[in-house]
Chain A
Amino acid sequence: MRVSRTNRLAVLLTLVLAVPACAAPGRPVDLATVKSVERPRPVGARENPTPKSTEVKPVPACDATASLPPLDPMPTPGEMPAGSTMREIQDAGKLIAGVDQNTFLFGFRNPTTNALEGFDIDRVREIARAIFGDPNRVQFKVVTSLGRVPALENGDVHVVVRTFTATCDRWQDINFSAIYYVAGQRLLVDRASKVTRLDQLGGEKVCAAEGSTSIKTLLDHPADPVPVQVPNWTDCLVMLQQGQVAAVSTDDTILAGMVAQDPNVRMVGPRFTEEPYGIGIPKEDEDMVRFVNGVLEQSVAEGDWADSYDRWLGRTGERRPDPPPLRYRD
């Protein structure tokens, strides 16, 4: 009896132990495999923004590069004529200028000194010097490419000096000074890239700043590149360095600033647009437009323009062009 009970127990035990052994063989626990990584992007970067050109509003033909004739004679600094816009600015004690702090060589914040510097910033200081006799009586307000026209329309700033292309479209809402520099859109690619023309970039991502003339050119280009828009020009350099875009396309001057920051990128191909830079001024302040044009005349005549060019754009290694002729409407 004792034996049989032990036997039964043994059988039971064998069964109990054998059952799990029949189950499927164990598999190692899955590793935490990551197959793709989402790259960080500049804040506000957007792919394929809706083409602006579809909402075509007819723009009357105009000569965008011709401004109002300069004041003659120019008032003495610190003695602006009563009732003028310049007088208001003089009484307020400072010139409020909309500028960029992210575009190397034109308007950028020097991280060592915290001061804003560049070719555009020099233009602002010339205007301040002409009003106050002191180039430092300026309050800088950073505006994005997109925010330039609204800042002038809302009266937030007295002038906008920010690689601002004079176009007939923009002339409808604001005034431009005479043209103080002519840039042209080109292409910036990695040194290793074989691309030389925008035609080769069909379906590829190309970066430009929101609200710029460059992004419009990309949107309308027949090769159909994929425009990626960012709030600031240097964001394009970041995206190019991170391999998130195939190229950056904008004014050669802005691209030159990127080359100066990173010798591993280069500008390629010819200029395919012409971008005349003017100083933006509110529509109603025509006296200010004439005053600023007078300041530009003086700057060119006295060699300040050339000094400023050498200081900032001279480091790109290209020969200094003659200042663009200041043109006026009769």
Chain B
Amino acid sequence: MVTVPPPERLAPARRSLLVMPATAMRHARRSATSSPGRLFVIGVALVMLALVTGVVGALAVQEKQDAIDNLIEHREPVAAASQQIYRSLSDADATAASAFLSGGTPPAALRERYELDIAQAGANLAQAAADVAEVPEAQRQVDQLAQQLPVYTGLVETARAYNRQGFPAGAAYLREASGLMRAKLLPAAEELYSIDFRRLADEQAHARAFPWGSTALVLVLLAALVATQLYLTRRTNRLLNIGLVVASGSVVVGLVWGSVALVLESVRIADGHDTGTRQVELAVQARIVALTMRANETLTLVARGDGGVYEEDWKELAPKIGGDGEENLLVRARGLAADAETTAVLDAARQNAADWLALHGRVRELDDGGSYENAIALAVGDGPDGAAAVFTELDANLLRAINNGRTQFVEETTSARAALTGLVPGIAVLSLLAAVGVTMGIRERLREYR
């Protein structure tokens, strides 16, 4: 664009490609000293500004759309996958301990549950691994998980073989496996999941940030158009130049449309974060707390009187899913619930948690009172009123809450994207319209000098 000088001056410039820009500049400077020349330069500058603004604006909006697509297609699913890794691993640990406690050949249901947990953890790990290339910290966690998970399952199978032979070496291998799980696997999974949730939150913030740069450019363009109009009015005593009016109009339309669409988008992304992601995060934390407590409950029984540390750990975690305190994650998640269904699910989860805490008290009473067998039956037995059944229900309700939150996120974020529909071609067309308007308006004035 810079290199389009008036036609009659083109000939000498052709001599050299390399000297052309310099020549053009010289011509431009010379012509700017005369009125028509100045007008010509103003016209070229305005056309350029209009086109650049159009390109920058369209790119900014396109980038927003890509960011939203990335949220829905990558960030959120990866965050969900990494919390699922934690959940599966922790459940595998608790299930292995329960199977050990039940004595003899472990019930088929527990075996299946353990197998599912391990398969689930592996599948979600593969999904999480596909996404950590540029985040070394996450890469380290994935490495750790991928290296230690096979070691863990190896130890559990060795324990199983010894248990079947009736040797206490089985219990020793199981303790080692559980130690590995708690010392290496679970911390890595927890770290991975917090990294992924942080990345999700960061990208949500990025997707809802208002594009101040592009907006400033639009305002500059509008100001330039108005200034040119004023300049022409002073020069020619004509009130309005139709071309410039059309140009200014299309810039105003673009500005209003863009601002409204972006504010709408931002609000919906924020809704998706608060009622979706944030709520999911709280439910996930509640689930992790519940799983840790369940593992502590079974390990206390496995330790058979030597499990004081596990019980202390349990007691420390209890207020996070029980009671009415500010600490209770379920209460906080309920405060963010978007619909009646999620509220109901979280209420049910609170009830489950309360029931389970009461049952745990009963289990401890039995065990401390010397009724070890009864304590085990209540804690891991398959009765409908046993701790195992209530815990399974709690976990299922938390999963429901997580899934509702995820749906809420996808709905809000998709509608955020819908707010931007047509904005990219719109901006392109409007900026072209502005450029054409400027060209027409300036040419009309230039003609008057002939």
Contact = CB atoms under 8 A, between A and B. Distances in A.
Interface of A: 1, 5, 8, 32, 34, 37, 40-43, 94, 96, 98, 101-104, 108-114, 138-144, 147, 232, 234-235, 237-238, 260-262
Given A104-B167, A109-B171, A112-B103, A5 B17 contact: yes
Given A114-B103, A114-B376, A142-B303, A103 B173 contact: no
B176 interface: yes
A238 B178 CA distance: 14
A101 B168 CA distance: 8
B167 A261 contact: yes
B110 to A, nearest CB: 14
A16 to B, nearest CB: 16
Nearest to B139: A32
Contacts of A260: 167
Given A112-B103, A113-B103, A104 B176 contact: no
A144 B17 CA distance: 90
Nearest to A34: B147
B305 A143 contact: yes
Interface in B130-174: 143, 147, 151-152, 155, 162-173
B341 to A, nearest CB: 42
Contacts of A112: 103-104, 166
Given A142-B303, A262-B169, A43 B147 contact: no
A260 B168 CA distance: 11
A131 to B, nearest CB: 15
Nearest to A98: B305
Contacts of B172: 42, 102, 232, 234-235, 237-238
Contacts of A144: 306
Interface in B336-374: 369-370, 372-373
A234 B305 contact: no
A94 B370 contact: yes
A41 B179 contact: yes
Contacts of A147: 306
Given A34-B147, A142-B304, A101 B171 contact: yes
A8 B170 CA distance: 80
A73 B306 CA distance: 37
B413 to A, nearest CB: 34
Contacts of B432: none
A242 B104 CA distance: 26
Contacts of B17: 5, 8
Nearest to B104: A112
19 contacts: A8-B17, A37-B147, A41-B176, A41-B179, A98-B305, A102-B172, A104-B168, A109-B304, A111-B100, A111-B166, A111-B168, A112-B103, A114-B101, A140-B305, A141-B306, A238-B172, A238-B173, A260-B167, A261-B167
A43 B100 contact: no
B176 A42 contact: yes
B103 A43 contact: no
Given A40-B180, A113-B104, A141 B168 contact: no
A88 B103 CA distance: 33
B175 interface: yes
Contacts of B168: 101-104, 108-109, 111, 234, 261
A97 to B, nearest CB: 10
A40 B155 contact: yes
A2 to B, nearest CB: 11
5 A-B pairs with least C-beta separation:
A139-B370, A141-B305, A43-B179, A114-B103, A234-B172
Interface in B91-129: 100-104
Interface residues of B, number: 40
Nearest to A111: B163
B103 A238 contact: no
Nearest to B14: A1
Contacts of B376: 114
Interface string B257-283: 000000000000000000000000000
A238 B305 contact: no
B224 to A, nearest CB: 36
Nearest to B176: A42
Interface string B72-106: 00000000000000000000000000001111100
A102 B171 contact: yes
A133 B306 CA distance: 28
Nearest to B166: A112
Interface in B1-24: 14, 17
Given A5-B17, A235-B175, A111 B170 contact: yes
A245 to B, nearest CB: 14
Nearest to A101: B304
Interface string B311-335: 0000000000000000000000000
Contacts of A41: 176, 179
A147 B304 CA distance: 14
B171 A111 contact: yes
Interface centre among B152, B173, B305 (most CB of A within 10 A): B305
Contacts of A8: 17
B176 A43 contact: yes
A202 B348 CA distance: 62
A43 B370 CA distance: 26
A235 B304 CA distance: 17
A108 B171 CA distance: 10
Contacts of B101: 114
Contact of A234 (B143, B151, B166, B169): B169
B398 to A, nearest CB: 28
Contacts of B170: 111
A42 B373 CA distance: 27
Contacts of A238: 169, 172-173, 176
Interface centre among A8, A40, A142, A143 (most CB of B within 10 A): A40
Contacts of A104: 167-169
Contacts of A237: 169, 172
B3 to A, nearest CB: 15
Contacts of B143: 32
A43 B304 contact: no
A98 B152 CA distance: 31
A75 to B, nearest CB: 23
A321 to B, nearest CB: 24
Contacts of A101: 168, 171, 304
A260 B17 CA distance: 93
B171 to A, nearest CB: 6
A75 B164 CA distance: 43
Nearest to B165: A261
A260 to B, nearest CB: 8
A139 B372 CA distance: 8
